[in-house]
Structure formats: structure tokens, C-alpha cells
């Protein structure tokens, strides 16, 4: 998913869609503190195997990291566990900051 698509989805007035869409930030805590993704659930990639049960598989999850590689791996892992509604945010928080919200620091 492109960052502009996610931005459009998060500003939609479609209540059903906005209730079912969640962002999963798999970056390390220091990265999240430096450049937070608005309204994201934070589970670092290294903890996903022990914490995936915290995620509702019925929701639509958009996985995000710095540039999109870690989040792609997490999305593939969750898919193997039976999650069906998954996206990877292409370009990660870096692209989000560059194209959607320049107030978020780039690193």
C-alpha cells in the first residue's frame, strides 16, 4: 500500500472502514519515539512471535517500519498465521514523512 492510499483511508468518513483499519508499527522503541506513526499499535518485529495474539485477525492491518522491509516480513509472518487482511506500507515511515506528514522527523 502506498502512503497516499493509507492517508486517504485514515481520513475517510466511512465509519466501518475506519473502525476495521489499524496500523502495526514494527520498529524499535527508539525509532517510534523519534518519528511516531499516528495511532499505530507498536509491537517491535523481534517481539511479534510472542505478541501476535494481541492483534485481531479480523481487522485490516497495515504494517509499517522505517522503509518497508521489516514490515513486509512481519506481514508475511502474520499471513502464515491466518491473518487475511494485511498490507505493507511501501516506503515506511520515511515515505509517510516525505509525502504525507513532513512534521514527522526523517532519520
List pLDDT tens digits, range 4-20.
Answer: 999 998 876 555 555 68
DSSP string, 33-89: HHSPPTTEEE--GGGHHHHGGGS-TTSEEEEE-SSSHHHHHHHHHHHHTT--SEEE-
Q: Which CATH class is domain 3-9+18-99?
A: alpha beta
Q: Can you tell me the distance from the alpha carbon of 52 to that of 50, in angstroms, rounded to the nearest whole number?
A: 6
Enzyme catalytic residues: 65
pLDDT of residue 12: 66
List pLDDT tens digits, range 54-96.
Answer: 999 999 999 999 999 999 999 999 999 999 999 999 999 999 9
pTM score: 0.92
Amino acid at each position: 500500500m502506498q502512503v497516499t492510499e493509507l492517508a486517504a483511508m485514515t481520513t475517510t468518513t466511512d465509519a466501518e472502514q475506519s473502525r476495521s483499519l489499524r496500523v502495526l508499527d514494527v520498529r524499535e522503541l527508539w525509532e517510534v519515539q523519534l518519528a511516531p506513526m499516528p495511532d499505530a499499535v507498536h509491537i517491535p518485529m523481534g517481539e511479534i512471535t510472542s505478541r501476535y495474539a494481541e492483534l485481531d485477525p479480523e481487522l485490516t492491518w497495515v504494517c509499517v517500519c522505517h522503509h518497508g522491509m521489516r514490515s513486509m516480513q512481519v506481514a508475511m509472518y502474520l499471513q502464515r498465521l491466518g491473518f487475511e487482511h494485511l498490507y505493507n506500507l511501501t516506503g515506511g515511515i520515511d515515505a509517510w514523512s516525505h509525502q504525507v506528514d513532513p512534521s514527522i522527523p526523517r532519520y
